[in-house]
Amino acid sequence: MYMNDGTTAITPDTETGNILLQDGDQTLTFKVDYIATGKATSGNVNAVTNFHINYY
């Protein structure tokens, strides 16, 4: 998982730098690389990804 710049890696269970928030709705943009855990084959795929973000 990477910060919005696409190169700064986010290490699980560690704090990132501050992201300045404004009043109202927020959009936090992250980028992710998926890593294959087995051989890829053709066909349909279903996937679910969950991210848990703590902010305070």
pLDDT of the residue at 56: 67
Domain borders along the chain are 1-55
- The pTM (predicted TM-score) of the whole model is 0.47
- The C-alpha angle 16, 19, 22, rounded to 5 degrees, equals 160
pLDDT of the residue at 15: 81
* Residues whose CB is less than 8 angstroms from the CB of residue 19 and which lie 6 or more positions away in sequence, other chains included: 28
How far is Cα 13 from Cα 10, in angstroms, rounded to an integer?
9
Tell me what the mean pLDDT of segment 7-34 comes to: 81
26-54 confidence digits (pLDDT tens): 887 778 877 788 888 898 877 777 777 77
